Chains A and B, each alone.
Chain A
Amino acid sequence: MKIDYGRRELDAVHNSSFIRKRVLIVLFLLMPIPAFLISMTVGTFPITTGEIVGVISTRLGLEMGHPSVYETVIFQVRLPRVLLAMTVGSALSASGAAFQGIFRNPLVDPYILGLSSGAAFGAALSLGVVPWIPVQVSAFVFSLLAVAVAYTMARTQGRTPVVSLVLSGVIVSAVFSSLLAIVQIAVDERALQSIVYWMMGSMNTASWSKLESSLPLAFLGCLGILTLRWRLNVLALGDEEARSVGMNPERYKGIFVISAALASSSAVAVAGIIGLLGLIVPHMLRMIFGPDHRTLIPLTITFGATFMVLVDDLARAALGFEVPVGIITTLIGAPFFAYLLRRTRAGGWE
């Protein structure tokens, strides 16, 4: 009798833990909604929540008198910026989680294959040397080029060993960093200032056209990772283990690298280099929900969007002047990450 009672108690504990986890997952999946609503009320232009509701009501056909500038601030300034921040956050976080899975390494971020160095070089080229090429296009092309070179370099005899990928990423990063240094030396002081500011990452020039150019590619990249996410669990076990269950690891590594590169390149091209986000968001979630990519990937997409948009709120409104969002990401993310790291064993990888 005693034993039966113990089993029932254990079952109850297990069920309550299961339910708690499910509720938590749903909460994290829905988090972007309140974050979006809060962000729409944050800004340096003096406009109340009631006035925002009035402006939106007018858009919906209800006549509510208000100055036209309110509509501009809500629909042309805040809305594209909030949506862009969410897109960038999702793209970088999902890419980070995918790269960490492929590389089986918790220290990996979306920039492991030289993507950020390539993007920085592309942006610098546009800002200081060939101004007729748009910064966004140049950054995007060179970030993808860097990843393509790193991937091709690492591929030998139809295989792409993880160690070779890491090393080729390091080499490509170093080459593009050197090229960037040459551009920085050659350009004038003002162009140099623009390059440095771009590299800090910022969304202060967000617009619908930037969102339109970034969103489809980020969506495509995230969709690829999301659809195939369970295969990351197999890849995370190692190439031999993947082959033993009938999976072609090379094919899926390639698909994940392309998807992650596409998503993060489209984000970096419009927002500059935002450090740490792609590293800490997947980590935070792994510490809370464990390493199963079937749960992890959807959560990185939603929580990445939430985290980024809230951080951008601080960047644009906390001090009354613009602070590059990359700085805030690091300043806020690092202590929170350290706290979680101390509370969990091996950062959730065990």
Chain B
Amino acid sequence: MTISRYIAIIALCLYLAIPALGAPMEVEDNLGRTVTIDQPCQKIVFLVENALNTYYSIGDPETVLAIGDNIWKRELKEDFFKAVDPKFDDKVRIGFDAGLVSLETLAAEDPDLVVLWATSPEDENLNAITETLRIPVYAVFITSSGDMYKQVRDMGTISGKTDRASEVEAIMMSYVEEVTSATEGIPDEDRPKVYWMWSDVLGTAGRESGFDDLIYQAGGINVMNYWDNDASYVEHPTVPLETLINLNPDVIYMWYNEKLDPEDVIRGTEFAGWRDINAVKTGRVYEIENPFLFDAFSPRMPMALMHLAKNIQPELFADMSIDERMDGFFGEMYSVHYPGYAAM
């Protein structure tokens, strides 16, 4: 090959590569909106915490410009955030006024991208930011584990670290498979019927909810699958107590509840009507005790799955230590130990 040919090939490669460098690119958010961003984003504002958790496992913490001041149960999470982002305390906090984001604070930061929670394209904050400030917005709306994996890939695109995103996705999948490889062969009739109890007690996870999937993966079956009523399909149906008694779940799983403990359900006078339910009779009432560690709508979804599996199928997962698996997971995802979040 002559030198001139060699130079020509290099020139052609450079020519083809130029559009990819710094060129705008598109990512589809959870609402199906196409968001055009500059890759990689250097100044991102996170107004939703679960995406921030995902981003910290993939992207550079320095590119997190500001965060919303609406973090739920901050006391459970602050040590972790400080461990994965040493400048966490210095980040600008974006406030909300009557549910609406402070546009002036946001405008002053001049971000490349805002990530927020929105259940519809008509969301007021979403429209206010895109129309008033002309800042691209990525809307998060997680309803299934598939959405969580998509979020990982999208955060990879946004941060420009798609390889790390693939790694993170693989880590999550490997922990999920650790459970599902043991539970997938269980026939439906052998799975314990599980009632998911949201904090409104008779409000539960419907057949088409994320927790329905998670319960099945954990080796149980959502008791709503045995309720012959269209309401069983909605995401958060309210079940009459008499129906629940008739459905007779084998396990009751409570979401983190500050007003109730499993013991209240088993022995409390307020729950005298529940005493003939199998789960109560056998004492199989469990609670998600830490809504941060076992948040199913965050990248820690595999940990939530393990928590469920350990209680729903205790014999199958007798040897599994949640603390050990948690340490391994935090190490692979965030390079910190659990508990304590010391750097590895």
* B-binding residues in A (CB < 8 A): 43-46, 68-69, 72-73, 76-78, 80, 131-132, 134-135, 181, 185, 188, 190-191, 193-194, 197, 204-205, 207-210, 316-317, 319-322
Contact = CB atoms under 8 A, between A and B. Distances in A.
B245 A321 contact: no
A269 B200 CA distance: 16
B269 interface: yes
A43 B272 contact: no
B98 A181 contact: yes
B242 A204 contact: no
A321 B272 contact: no
Interface in B36-85: 70, 72
B200 A194 contact: yes
Given A185-B98, A188-B72, A321-B229, A208 B240 contact: no
Contacts of B236: 193
B173 interface: no
B125 to A, nearest CB: 13
Contacts of A181: 98
Contacts of B200: 193-194, 197
B269 A209 contact: yes
Interface of B: 70, 72, 96, 98-99, 198-203, 229, 231, 236-243, 245-246, 258-259, 269-273, 275-276
Contact of A204 (B70, B240, B258, B271): B240
A210 B270 CA distance: 8
B258 A131 contact: yes
A131 B260 CA distance: 10
Contacts, number: 89
Contacts of B271: 207
B96 A185 contact: yes
Contacts of B276: 68-69, 72
A100 to B, nearest CB: 33
B246 A76 contact: no
Given A181-B98, A204-B202, A44 B238 contact: no
Contacts of A76: 272-273, 275
Contacts of A73: 242, 245, 273
Contacts of B242: 43-45, 73, 77-78, 316
Contact of B201 (A44, A205, A320, A321): A205
A187 B279 CA distance: 31
A131 B270 CA distance: 17
A349 B300 CA distance: 65
A317 B275 CA distance: 21
Contact of B270 (A132, A194, A205, A319): A205
A348 B198 CA distance: 47
B206 to A, nearest CB: 11
A288 to B, nearest CB: 33
Given A204-B238, A204-B241, A321-B240, 14 more contacts: A43-B240, A44-B246, A73-B242, A131-B258, A131-B259, A132-B258, A185-B98, A193-B236, A197-B238, A208-B269, A209-B269, A316-B240, A320-B231, A322-B238
